[in-house]
C-alpha cells in the first residue's frame, strides 16, 4: 500500500473516534499507523465483499473502522486506480473483554456506519458464532489455555461453511529471541490497556498449522511484523469450497 493511501485511510478510520475522546483517537492512529496487518489485509484482498465478520478481541473496533473507511473512500471515488479495490458490504460484530473499549467503538462507528458494526463486552470463549463467514482473532488467542484454544477452534470449524475463513495472528513460540521480544511488547500493551499481566499459551507456528489443517483448513502463513524484530505470524485459514454451498452450523462457545 502506498504511503499516501495509508495516510488517507488512517485519517478516515480514526476520525470517528475524536468524538468519543482524544485518547481513543490517538490510540487508533498509532495502532493503524504502526501495525502492518491492516494494510496487508487490504492489499491481499483477504476478506470477500458482503462477508459477515466476527472480530474476537476487537478492542475499539479498529478492524471494522479500517475496512469501513476503505469502502467509504472507494465508493466516494477517492480510491486510487492502481490499488486493489477494497471489499464492500462487510458487516462486523465484535467481542471485547474490556467493555469500555467496545462501548467507545460503538459510539464512534455506529452513527457513521449504521448497521455495519456492533461491538459488545464478552469473552471470546463464550462467543456466538452463528451466521458468519469470517472469524478474526488477532493477538488474543494465546490468552486462553491450550485446551480452551482447541475448543474455540473446534467451534469455529463447526460454525464456518465451505469457503469460510479464519484469520488469526499468533506469536511463533519456536522463533527464539524474536518471540521473547514479541511477548514483552504484548505484555506491555496489555498493561497499558488496563489488563492484568496474563499468562500466555503459545505454540510454534508449525503446530498452529498442524492443528488447523487437522480441522480441514487450508492454511497460509505470513510474517506480520513490519520492520520490527518480532515473531508475529498471520495465518489465513480457509475451508475448501465456495460460500453458499452450506450455511454452517450455528455454534456457541461455552
pLDDT, tens digit (0-9, with 9 covering 90-100), for 41-53: 999 999 999 999 9
CB-hemisphere CA count at 13 Å for 109?
31
Domain extent listing, the chain: 3-122+129-238
Of residues 251 and 137, the one with the higher pLDDT is: 137
Residue 190 pLDDT greater than 70, yes or no = no
- How far from 28 is each of 61, 168, 196, CA to CA, in Å? 9, 20, 21
pLDDT in the model for residue 66:
99
The kind and range of the H/E element at 166 are strand 165-171
Average pLDDT value for residue range 236-253? 68
Residue whose entry in the numeric block shows the C-alpha cell 473496533: 61
Superfamily for the 3-122+129-238 domain: Vaccinia Virus protein VP39 (3.40.50.150)
Residue 247 pLDDT greater than 60, yes or no = no
Report field, pTM of the whole predicted structure over 0.95: no
Q: Are 7 and 59 in contact (CB under 8 A)?
A: no
Percent of the chain surpassing pLDDT 70: 84
Residue 253 pLDDT greater than 60, yes or no = no
pLDDT in the model for residue 155:
98
Query: How far is it, in rounded angstroms, from Cα 92 to Cα 72?
Result: 15
pLDDT in the model for residue 181:
67
Average pLDDT value for residue range 140-155? 96
User: Mean pLDDT lowest for which of 31-35, 103-107, 183-187, 238-242?
Assistant: 183-187
- The three-class DSSP label of residue 117 is strand
pLDDT, tens digit (0-9, with 9 covering 90-100), for 91-110: 999 999 999 999 999 999 99
pLDDT in the model for residue 172:
87
Closest by alpha carbon to 166, among 212, 118, 134? Answer: 134
pLDDT, tens digit (0-9, with 9 covering 90-100), for 213-227: 999 999 999 998 765
Average pLDDT value for residue range 56-78? 98
Per-residue confidence band for 249, with pLDDT thresholds at 50, 70 and 90 = very low
Average pLDDT value for residue range 56-72? 98
Amino acid at each position: 500500500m502506498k504511503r499516501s493511501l495509508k495516510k488517507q485511510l488512517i485519517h478516515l478510520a480514526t476520525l470517528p473516534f475524536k468524538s468519543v475522546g482524544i485518547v481513543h483517537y490517538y490510540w487508533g492512529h498509532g495502532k493503524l499507523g504502526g501495525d502492518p496487518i491492516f494494510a496487508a489485509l487490504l492489499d491481499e484482498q483477504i476478506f470477500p465483499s458482503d462477508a459477515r465478520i466476527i472480530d474476537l478481541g476487537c478492542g475499539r473496533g479498529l478492524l471494522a473502522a479500517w475496512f469501513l473507511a476503505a469502502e467509504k473512500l472507494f465508493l466516494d471515488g477517492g480510491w486510487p486506480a492502481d490499488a486493489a479495490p477494497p471489499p464492500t458490504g462487510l458487516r462486523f460484530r465484535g467481542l471485547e473483554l474490556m467493555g469500555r473499549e467496545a462501548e467507545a467503538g460503538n459510539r464512534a462507528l455506529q452513527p457513521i456506519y449504521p448497521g455495519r458494526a456492533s461491538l459488545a463486552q464478552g469473552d471470546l470463549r463464550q462467543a456466538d458464532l452463528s451466521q458468519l463467514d469470517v472469524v478474526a482473532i488477532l493477538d488474543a488467542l494465546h490468552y486462553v489455555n491450550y485446551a480452551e484454544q482447541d475448543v474455540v477452534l473446534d467451534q469455529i470449524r463447526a460454525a464456518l461453511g465451505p469457503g469460510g475463513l479464519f484469520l488469526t495472528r499468533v506469536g511463533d513460540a519456536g522463533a527464539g529471541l524474536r518471540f521473547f521480544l514479541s511477548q514483552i511488547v504484548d505484555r506491555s500493551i496489555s498493561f497499558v490497556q488496563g489488563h492484568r499481566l496474563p499468562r500466555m499459551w503459545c505454540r510454534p507456528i508449525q503446530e498452529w498449522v498442524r492443528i488447523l489443517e487437522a480441522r480441514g483448513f487450508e492454511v497460509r502463513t505470513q510474517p506480520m511484523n513490519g520492520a520490527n524484530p518480532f515473531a508475529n505470524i498471520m495465518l489465513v485459514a480457509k475451508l475448501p469450497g465456495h460460500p453458499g454451498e452450506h450455511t454452517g452450523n450455528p455454534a456457541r462457545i461455552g
